[in-house]
Structures are given as structure tokens and as C-alpha cells.
């Protein structure tokens, strides 16, 4: 086995410590023509890119070990052709992502960020008041993508007596109302929560038409991937008030969020922190290290994708 391992992102400290103990870690910038053929493992995360151009430089790559569940930056078709295993960290971040989706719903609806600033900036003490927010309990929520995370969001919404509908081409759930069309779903809910995986097929699935269908009193929440939303259309919809509210943890061109919406009181942004808890990152690291150990020991990988 090669003494080198490649990374294309900064690494979690536990993963980096383990990898450094067994390999010399090189970045893409440090990758030379001499080292490239010796690389068998690429360490990445949901934000990392592994396009065909990089894979072409790595003729002996055997595994991509992904610290996360997102892999839209990885050329999956090329990995399939080259028999490169792609491992992710499924399951362990489901609860955190669902929790953040609910947090964004409450932050937007109950104006938590505005209220915090009103108090901390001394304006409340000076007599300034905050306008009324919106009730969350009993609202109609539409979930896009009813996988692990979508189902966890639905369970939480049920706890607030919300009416739950969903759009998913591959999943049927007898407890919730299913829509075959995203526009129809948007027309019939107050809050649209994106939990779908990013693919080439669903890029910009949240279009101008979907946003208009959600309407001037509707809310968009995205804890999935920025590519699902046409960000230019979203900016326009917020500016012309054809969409009422949004809460986003992910963006099309991270780490950049649309500056046009920075001063909008009906918009809440978080910097891609859905899985960012001590507990979950520890579990994610254990899975990544476990896959690397299994690879080193030529044992079955823990969490390979079915390519």
C-alpha cells in the first residue's frame, strides 16, 4: 500500500491524526506526477470536489472516503466505471440536520434573530418593539425528499401538529400525503423543506414557478444542497415579495451567500452547520476512520455507496 493519501479539503482533527499516523497526507496542490499513481485513497467531505479531471490523475485510486453524506462533488459515473468505492457517513447526522431544519423554521417564523438583536443592541430597553411573528404549530409543511432526513423532519413536524405532505419520486409513505409534482406540493403548503440529495437531474428544482406557487406567505427551508435552488430566482422572489420567507443552511457557491438578501428581515442564513455538533462530528469521524481501517486491512468497507 502507498505511503501517501490524498485530501482535497481540510480534515477533521481525529481523521487527520489517524491518517497522519499511517500515511503522508498530500493536498491536491501538492500532488505531483510521481505521487499521483501511488494514491489509492482520497479523503474528502460533502464540499470536496472529485471531478473526472482529478480522477484521471489518479489511475490507482480505489476508495473515496467522504466525511459527510453529500457527494455531489464526486463524479459518481466515473467512479462506477473505474470501480472506485465511495464511502459516506450515513445515519449519524440525520437527527442534527432535522433539528436544524426545525430551528430555521422557528427562527424565521418567530423572528428569533431579530428579537435577539433588538435586546442585545439595547433597542428593546429604549422602547422599540418587534412586529408580530407567525405561529408554527398546525402549519402545512411539504418535505422534498423523504429519505432518512426527510422522515426525521416529518416526525418533528408531527410533534407540532403540522399537516405533512411530501414530494419524492422513489418513496411512498402511507402516513403522509404524496404529491407527484413539486409545484402542486408548493401550492398546498405553508413551508417547503428541502431534504433531497443533489443530483444532475434535480439541479434548480426549486425554480421561479415553485417559489411563486409557495407564495407571498410561504417559507422555503433548505438543509440539503444549494444546487437544488435557483438562487437568482430566490433573490428575485424575496425582493418582489412573491415568496414570503426563507431559511438557508446551504448555498450554490459556498462559502458565498446571496448578498442581496443580507439585510432582509424575513431571511435567516446559517453557514452550512447542519451536522456541526460535537457528538455528530465524533461519530462521523469514527465512520471515516473505520472505512480507512477496513481498506488498509483489506476487509469489507463499512458504508460504501451502491454505485
Looking at the annotation, which residues are catalytic? 225, 254, 272
Q: What are the φ and ψ backbone dihedral angles of 219, each rounded to 5 degrees?
A: -130, 135
Amino acid at each position: 500500500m502507498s505511503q501517501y493519501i490524498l485530501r482535497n479539503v481540510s480534515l477533521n482533527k481525529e481523521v487527520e491524526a489517524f491518517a497522519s499516523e499511517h500515511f503522508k497526507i498530500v493536498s491536491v496542490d501538492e500532488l505531483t506526477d510521481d505521487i499521483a499513481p501511488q494514491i489509492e485513497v482520497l479523503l474528502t467531505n460533502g464540499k470536496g470536489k472529485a471531478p473526472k479531471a482529478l480522477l484521471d490523475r489518479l489511475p490507482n485510486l480505489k476508495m473515496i472516503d467522504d466525511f459527510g453524506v453529500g457527494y455531489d462533488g464526486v463524479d459518481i459515473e466515473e467512479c462506477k466505471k473505474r470501480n472506485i468505492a465511495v464511502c459516506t457517513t450515513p445515519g449519524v447526522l440525520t437527527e442534527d440536520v432535522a433539528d436544524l431544519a426545525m430551528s430555521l423554521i422557528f427562527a424565521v417564523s418567530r423572528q428569533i434573530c431579530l428579537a435577539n438583536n433588538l435586546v442585545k443592541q439595547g433597542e428593546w430597553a429604549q422602547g422599540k418593539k418587534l412586529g408580530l411573528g407567525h405561529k408554527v404549530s398546525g402549519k402545512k409543511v411539504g418535505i422534498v425528499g423523504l429519505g432518512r432526513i426527510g422522515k426525521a423532519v416529518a416526525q418533528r413536524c408531527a410533534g407540532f401538529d403540522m399537516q405533512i405532505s411530501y414530494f419524492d419520486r422513489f418513496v411512498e409513505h402511507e402516513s403522509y400525503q404524496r404529491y407527484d409534482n413539486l409545484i402542486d406540493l408548493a401550492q398546498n403548503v405553508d413551508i417547503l423543506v428541502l431534504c433531497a440529495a443533489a443530483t444532475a437531474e434535480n439541479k434548480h428544482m426549486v425554480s421561479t414557478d415553485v417559489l411563486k406557487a409557495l407564495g407571498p406567505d410561504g417559507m422555503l427551508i433548505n438543509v440539503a444542497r444549494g444546487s437544488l435552488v435557483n438562487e437568482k430566482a430566490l433573490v428575485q422572489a424575496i425582493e418582489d415579495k412573491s415568496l414570503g420567507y426563507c431559511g438557508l443552511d446551504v448555498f450554490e457557491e459556498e462559502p458565498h451567500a446571496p448578498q442581496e438578501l443580507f439585510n432582509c428581515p424575513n431571511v435567516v442564513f446559517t453557514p452550512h452547520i447542519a451536522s456541526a455538533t460535537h457528538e455528530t462530528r465524533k461519530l462521523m469521524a469514527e465512520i471515516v476512520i473505520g472505512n480507512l481501517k477496513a481498506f488498509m486491512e483489506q476487509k469489507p468497507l463499512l458504508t460504501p455507496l451502491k454505485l
